[in-house]
Amino acid sequence: MSRFVQGADRRQQTLLPECLDDYVAEDNPVRVVDVFVDELDLIGLSFEGMTPAATGRPAYHPAMLLKLYVYGYLNKVQSSRRLEREAQRNVELMWLTGRLAPDHKTIADFRRENGPAIQAACAQFVVLCRQLGLFGAALVAIDGSKFKAVNTRDKNFTAYKVKRRIEQVAEHIAGYLRDLDTTDRHEGDGVEARSVRLVEKIGRLRAQMAMLKVMEAEVEASPDGQVSLTDPDARAMATSGRGSGIVGYNVQSAVEGEHHLIVAHEVVMTGSDKQQLANMAGLAKDAMGVERLDVLADRGYFSGEDILACEALGATPFVPKTLTSGAKANGRFGKQDFVYLPDQDVYRCPAGSLLPYHMTVVERGMKLHRYWDRASCTGCSIKAQCTPAVERKVTRWEHEAVIDALQTRMDLRPKAMRERRSLVEHPFGTIKAWMGHTHFLMKRLPNVKTEISLHILAYNMKRAMAVLGAKSLIDAIRA
């Protein structure tokens, strides 16, 4: 035994016991949590309980509970029950909380009751990162990722799901009724017992059918045609990975290009990323405090209205066009093969003919101009490669110049989408790994926003410590 490193005797008493501070190194991340929360204006952020009641049992200070949560999310401990246990055995938490160990209900209530304030604390760390000069060029990449909710697919209903289940239940009822008729025609031991079992099964299925009929009415009345039982705000969303889907939330994030910090985020109940680009670009621009901003996003964000809105607010989008041309899919010329000549307000077709403007229509609130020339199409030698109709019509949005400028930018920056992937997909993977690739712990959209804010605060804090070092970050926060 003398050749091994010897530990201290558990029963050895010391004249001068060590203090808790001796167990926490100067560059320990827990000190960053402590200093960051101490520097926050918790009253200004509207945390509940900052003014203690004059009577009754003393409450825990909100600062201590916030430190507990930030430390927990920083160390993959998100459950209030696990935080309760860690506060009793974890030396770093004993140091952080002053040996206080609140029960899990107190911990959970704090997170639920202080959602907007916790989200504001997350935003304050982004402000701190901006003040420390951690944001580089005015560039962000935007993406969305689906996170599971506390709601299984069996507890989510759509019109198609309800219809399919009604058909299945009806089929089972019919089958059991046939079995019951067959059983009634036989005699012998066990026949009566079998009949009773079949009647019970039919009764349960009819009760299930009644429930499905009620659910069918609820789904029909729902604005988006969905009803989730466990978490009413969760929605069924398609995922490209397995070709199936999950019931959950769509988390949007904007990641800056220098140190991969998440500067803005949002949680939405729609599976599509359309209509999210301008909103996320605006949030990112405000968070970074810049006049102009380059925004990278995948083709799922492509929307003419959103591209125009981005330009209006000072963001320059880089988004590939969606491939929706039916003609191109069928091997014929697509719209991209027609060249617009702005000076003449005409399109030049692949055969070299000019298609003049004819009319304007309004579809889905968008003003669209139509161009065609029947005479040119009638005698065209390559008409079969263009259209099976009498003439080929080309549609141009009134703000199509914005889309043309976008395509020019994409052509000049061919590696934009590779750059986007390297920036924005890593943070989502990291956060999901910290979560244990499981679902959110809380239900309803406001609570889920709080939960993802804590995850993002922890992620940004780790990134800042990796860039500056814990000790330097502590000094910067105190400065």
- Each residue's pLDDT tens digit, 330-358: 778 888 889 999 999 999 999 999 999 99
Nearest to 297 by CA among 324, 315, 271: 315
Amino acid at 438: T
Report residue 226's pLDDT band, with 50, 70 and 90 as the boundaries. Answer: very high
Q: How many domains does the chain have?
A: 4
Cα-only R_g, the chain: 31
Whether 307 maps to a domain, the answer reads: yes
**Are 93 and 202 members of one domain?**
no
* Residue 453 confidence (pLDDT) above 90: yes
Query: What pLDDT shows up at residue 167?
Result: 94
The confidence score (pLDDT) of residue 182 equals 81
Query: Which of 109-113, 191-195, 244-248, 390-394 has maximum average pLDDT?
Result: 109-113
**Helix count and strand count (H, E) for the chain:** 16, 13
In sign, the C-alpha dihedral spanning 281, 282, 287, 292 is positive
Whether the per-residue pLDDT at 196 is higher than 90: the answer is: no
Residues 163, 145 share a domain: no
Q: Are residues 292 and 314 in the same domain?
A: yes
The whole-number pLDDT of residue 243 equals 47
Residues 41 and 109 in one domain: yes
128-132, 159-163, 240-244, 336-340: segment of lowest average pLDDT: 240-244
* Same-domain check for residues 300 and 441: yes
Same domain, 28 and 124: yes
Q: Is 397 helix (H, G, I), strand (E, B) or coil?
A: strand
Residue 286 CB burial class (10 angstroms; 0-12, 13-18, ≥19): middle
pLDDT > 80? residue 221:
yes
Q: Are residues 158 and 307 in the same domain?
A: no
Same domain? For 143 and 264 the reply is yes
- pLDDT of 61 > 90? The answer is yes
Say yes or no: 159 and 36 in one domain.
no
Are 284 and 312 members of one domain?
yes
Q: Which of 395, 422, 455 is the last residue of a domain?
A: 395
Among 173-182, 320-329, 420-429, whose mean pLDDT is lowest? Answer: 320-329
Region 142-152: what's the mean pLDDT? 94
Q: Mean per-residue pLDDT for 196-222?
A: 92
Per-residue pLDDT, 327: 65
pLDDT value, residue 188: 63
Domain end call among 228, 245, 277: 228
For residue 210, pLDDT over 60 is answered with yes
Q: Quick check: 234 and 268 in contact, CB under 8 A? A: no
Q: Per-residue confidence at 56, pLDDT binned at 50, 70, 90?
A: confident
Residue 322: what pLDDT? 81
Classify residue 454: in a domain, yes or no.
no
Q: What pLDDT band is residue 450 in, cutting at 50, 70 and 90?
A: very high
d(CA 250, CA 443): 14
- Domain, as residue range, for 278: 137-150+234-320+411-445
Report the C-alpha gap between 396 and 399 in whole angstroms.
8
- Residue 33, in any domain of the structure: yes
The pLDDT of residue 12 is 80
Closest CA to 209 of 160, 167, 155: 167
- The CATH number of the domain holding residue 304 is 3.30.420.10
Residue 126 counted as domain residue:
yes
Q: What is the mean pLDDT of residues 256-273?
A: 95
Identify whether residues 24 and 121 lie together within a single domain. yes
In the predicted structure, residue 66 carries a pLDDT above the cut 50: yes
**Kind of pairing between the strands at 245-256 and 139-148:** antiparallel
pLDDT digits (tens, 9 = 90+) for 73-84: 999 999 999 999
458 within 8 A of 37, measured Cβ to Cβ: no
What is the C-alpha separation between 132 and 263, in angstroms, rounded?
14
User: Is 214 inside a domain boundary?
Assistant: yes
Is the predicted pLDDT of residue 202 greater than 70, yes or no?
Answer: yes
Alpha-carbon distance 197 to 191, whole Å?
Answer: 10
Instruction: Let me know if residue 450 belongs to a domain.
Output: no
Rounded mean pLDDT of 435-445?
Answer: 92
Residues 42, 67, single domain; the answer is yes
pTM as predicted: 0.89
pLDDT for position 189: 66
Q: pLDDT tens digit string along 9-51? A: 888 877 766 788 989 999 999 999 999 999 999 999 999 988 8
Distance of CA 453 to CAs 106, 265, 424, Å?
20, 8, 17
462 lies in some domain: no
Instruction: State percent of the chain over pLDDT 90.
Output: 77
> Is 189 contained in some domain?
yes
